[in-house]
Structure 1
Amino acid sequence: MGSIAEGAAPAQDLRFCRSADGTRLAWATHGSGPPLVIASCWLSHLQYDWQSPVWRHFLESLGHIATTIRYDERGFGLSDWEVDDFGYESRLRDLETVLDQQPHEQFALMGMSAGAPLAIGYAARHPERVSRLILYAPIGSGCFAKSDDQDAETALLAIIKTGWARKEPIFRRVFTSVLIPDATEEQMSWLDELQRMSTSPENAMASRLARADVDVSGLLSQVRAPTLVLHARDDRAANFAWGRRLSAGIPDARLVCLDSKNHILLGDEPAWPVWLREVTEFLEPERSTHSAAAGNGHAAEALAVSGREEEILGLAAQGLDNAQIAEALVLSVRTVERHLQNVYAKAGVSGRAARTAVVARYLAHH
């Protein structure tokens, strides 16, 4: 059986934060270009995904077209495993927490598999921040490979309980065969092992039970961002009907049907370049805007800031610290910090001198 080996991974900036209930969340960034946030499926590990023949082509390709921001959900990967609450609202607050760490006012958001309901919920709740929405192999209700047959569902839970943590992959292979039925033995072995590395049997069971009650159908009409839905026609883990339903319910959505049986597209199958081309073209307006800003940012004499950013800079120029600015504008300190980080990014400055630099630049033009 293949195993996940240590190896040199492309540079990523790995960090941690804590959600509202104290759960430690791991998140990472890599690549360059406009920001793209990924609400991933439950099966992820920020470190080991880089060595995976199942996931690595996604990470490398996305890093070429965007500054890619990923995180491990609560109970999985490098995030805390000691978790009691896998409910939808807690998971959505986790996503909000990770995004509050980012310096970007707006970003594209990709919801993969069971991450799609989170992406939809966030886009509906924070339309001002999501510039574009991508849903890949989306599950709008329940969990992957959900069965309406209670006996079958009970059997799947028993498989998780009995075989998830065992060294032998025979039980985990049931799920692997659903997720990537056309994979090679090497690819299947890697995904077998990734399941064991990503979480505990208890978390896998609790998460599956919690997701069975999730249904975001009522939120679809509230999504305002242009949306791209990509779904394999014969996906065995997420029925293609969900792709049709979501794309029909979201006002500005387009559905791309992929010719595959795999829930996770493999790098050597014909559907993969189609997926990559569609995503690249969909993000092109973001890439063009980002390139123009990067080209002009350093040459421009005055910073192109929003009204709120100008208010914050004005108060910073008066000598107020972040807490005082937050109090004056009735904002949270974290929101003030996010706006300042966005200004630093626009100015192309970082480090301890960033605040001084942008304040000086602001004063020079006021």
Structure 2
Amino acid sequence: MNTEIYCFGRFNLDLRLGRLCRDQRPIRIEPRALALLCHLVKHRDRVVSKKEIRATVWNGAPLTDALLAARLRTVRLAIGDTGDRQQFVRTVYGRGYQFVAPTTVRRGEADPAVPAAPTAGPGSQAGPQAGAVAAVGARDLIRFCRTADGTQIAWAAIGSGPPLVKAANWPSRLDLERMTPLFAHWFEGLVRGRRLIRYDERGCGLSNWACGFTLDEYIEDLDAVADAADLDRFPLLGISQGGSLAVAYAARRPERVSRLILNAAYARGRTARARDDAERDAAILDLDLTLAGWFAKNRSYLRFYAAQFFADGAPHLWDEFTSHQQLTTSVANGARFLEELSRLDVSDLAPKVSCPTLITHSRDDPRVPVSQAMELAELIPDSRLVLLDGRNHLLTPDEPAWPAFLAELYAFLAADDVDGG
């Protein structure tokens, strides 16, 4: 059966199948958000009003401004747009929204073997029932488990082969990460011949939001996920503050962690590692500016924070990071994360890590200075430090540090496979 496919930028949108692709690869997107995108693209010759969206996309169901804004953010994240850089979906204030990107239409043969991919809904305090499974495409399922204290944790597995567990690091939301251009390359890079297990830690994403924020509780999250995935022993990857959690877990659960990989990690948060009044004042200022940006939604403050993660990135990347971050948790929880992470300190646990450890770090990382990677290398007995050329705290797919990191990672994991984990 022939179908019309709408092409814009690097994207193809098949309205009949309800399928969005980027560079011919399907993108997972929440069904209502996908329906909204389809309607906007189909009627791109005019402005679509909120009233029309309510009547057609929502079929007359209640639609609040906040809910519509959330679905628009999901659409924009999926196609690399932002609220400020509206190259695809433009807000026409007082009237509605219009799809404005140059679009061509071609006729193609529909592929009935590739169904539209549903996704899990947004996180909430209650969340889905434990043990439930939410489909996110044929290769990726979001599942739910409970910790010893009853907190519900969302986790997912993708790929096949020996396991690789990624310790959670905020911001994360399982149903959005793989279709977000800022993070999609991590999943393509980490599943080469491996089964990647990841999860949303308590307080964010699809896991419970109403909970505690302590290191012991974060370790409970990882215990619950490893048990649910039926893993006895596995290599553990920690990125940014997830590296601190990974260090603590490897120290406290030596029987479970075969190898430890740390990227952009640190033993002590900015407040915890301050050595004098000047560094303490700088840590407080950094925290205050970021919190002010979160509570007041101040764009300049939020860019100040995001620019530390993507120092070599253009301003639109900072905005995309901020938009994604705001979709992962509440403002109150975001403030709690920032405060707790600044005080985080696992320097007393690092010397107790007994497994082989690979530490990688960008030389000119402004968010976490390279001195913190050196401290980890000094503290962890069986560790090796590899410095990557670059300035980004979170690696991007187009910088030389990214393939260098993957090469080091897979060479390190190959020894684990030979040893049998």
TM-score by length of 2: 0.63
What is the rounded CA distance, in whole Å, between the counterparts of 1:145 and 1:58 in structure 2?
29
Structure 1 residues 189, 64: CA separation in 2 closer, same or farther (over 3 Å shift)?
A: same
* From 225, 234, 240, the counterpart of 1:113: 240
Q: Deviations over 1:23-42 (max 9, x none)?
A: 22111111121111111322
What is the rounded CA distance, in whole Å, between the counterparts of 1:35 and 1:156 in structure 2?
37
Structure 1 residues 60, 151: CA separation in 2 closer, same or farther (over 3 Å shift)?
A: same
Q: Deviations over 1:236-264 (max 9, x none)?
A: 11111111111122111100001111000
Question: 2:153 maps to what in 1?
Answer: 25
What is the rounded CA distance, in whole Å, between the counterparts of 2:280 and 2:374 in structure 1?
26
Question: 2:397 maps to what in 1?
Answer: 267
* From 361, 364, 382, the counterpart of 1:252: 382
Question: 2:29 maps to what in 1?
Answer: none
Question: 2:191 maps to what in 1?
Answer: 63
**Amino acid across the alignment from 2:327:** M
Question: 1:74 maps to what in 2?
Answer: 202
What is the rounded CA distance, in whole Å, between the counterparts of 1:67 and 1:238 in structure 2?
29
**Amino acid across the alignment from 2:350:** L
Quote how far apart the aligned CAs of 1:51 are: 1.6
What is the rounded CA distance, in whole Å, between the counterparts of 1:245 and 1:228 in structure 2?
13
Native 8 Å contact 1:114 1:143 kept in 2: no
Question: 2:4 maps to what in 1?
Answer: none
What is the rounded CA distance, in whole Å, between the counterparts of 1:165 and 1:50 in structure 2?
27
Structure 1 residues 289, 250: CA separation in 2 closer, same or farther (over 3 Å shift)?
A: closer
Which is further off, 66-75 or 168-177?
168-177
Quote how far apart the aligned CAs of 1:196 are: 0.7
Q: Secondary structure at the match of 1:133?
A: strand
Q: What is the aligned-residue RMSD (CA, Å)?
A: 2.7
Q: Secondary structure at the match of 2:191?
A: helix
Structure 2 unaligned spans of 5+ = 1-72, 80-115, 118-135
Question: 2:413 maps to what in 1?
Answer: 283
**Amino acid across the alignment from 2:203:** G
**Amino acid across the alignment from 1:14:** I
Q: How many residues align?
A: 290
Residue 319 of structure 2 is aligned to residue 192 of structure 1: no
Native 8 Å contact 1:145 1:236 kept in 2: no
Question: 1:3 maps to what in 2?
Answer: 76
Question: 1:179 maps to what in 2?
Answer: 309
What is the rounded CA distance, in whole Å, between the counterparts of 2:260 and 2:224 in structure 1?
19
Question: 1:333 maps to what in 2?
Answer: none
Question: 1:46 maps to what in 2?
Answer: 174
Question: 1:331 maps to what in 2?
Answer: none
Structure 1 residues 251, 155: CA separation in 2 closer, same or farther (over 3 Å shift)?
A: closer
Structure 1 residues 134, 144: CA separation in 2 closer, same or farther (over 3 Å shift)?
A: farther
**Amino acid across the alignment from 2:263:** Y
What is the rounded CA distance, in whole Å, between the counterparts of 1:28 and 1:286 in structure 2?
23
* From 214, 218, 229, the counterpart of 1:102: 229
Quote how far apart the aligned CAs of 1:129 are: 1.3
Native 8 Å contact 1:224 1:252 kept in 2: yes
**Amino acid across the alignment from 1:23:** T
Q: Deviations over 1:320-362 (max 9, x none)?
A: xxxxxxxxxxxxxxxxxxxxxxxxxxxxxxxxxxxxxxxxxxx
Q: How does 1:218-257 map to 2 (within 5 A)?
A: 218-257=348-387
Quote how far apart the aligned CAs of 1:46 are: 1.0
* From 127, 132, 152, the counterpart of 2:254: 127
Q: Secondary structure at the match of 1:65?
A: coil
Counting aligned pairs with the same residue, the percent is 39
Q: Secondary structure at the match of 1:254?
A: strand
Higher relative contact order (CA 8 A, sep 6+): 1
**Amino acid across the alignment from 1:102:** A
What is the rounded CA distance, in whole Å, between the counterparts of 2:200 and 2:318 in structure 1?
21
What is the rounded CA distance, in whole Å, between the counterparts of 2:199 and 2:412 in structure 1?
22
Native 8 Å contact 1:113 1:144 kept in 2: no
What is the rounded CA distance, in whole Å, between the counterparts of 2:400 and 2:356 in structure 1?
26
What is the rounded CA distance, in whole Å, between the counterparts of 1:145 and 1:260 in structure 2?
25
Quote how far apart the aligned CAs of 1:154 are: 4.2
Native 8 Å contact 2:159 2:195 kept in 1: yes
Residue 264 of structure 2 is aligned to residue 137 of structure 1: yes
Question: 2:104 maps to what in 1?
Answer: none
Structure 1 residues 120, 3: CA separation in 2 closer, same or farther (over 3 Å shift)?
A: same
What is the rounded CA distance, in whole Å, between the counterparts of 1:281 and 1:199 in structure 2?
35
Question: 2:124 maps to what in 1?
Answer: none
Structure 1 unaligned spans of 5+ = 294-366
Quote how far apart the aligned CAs of 1:211 are: 2.6
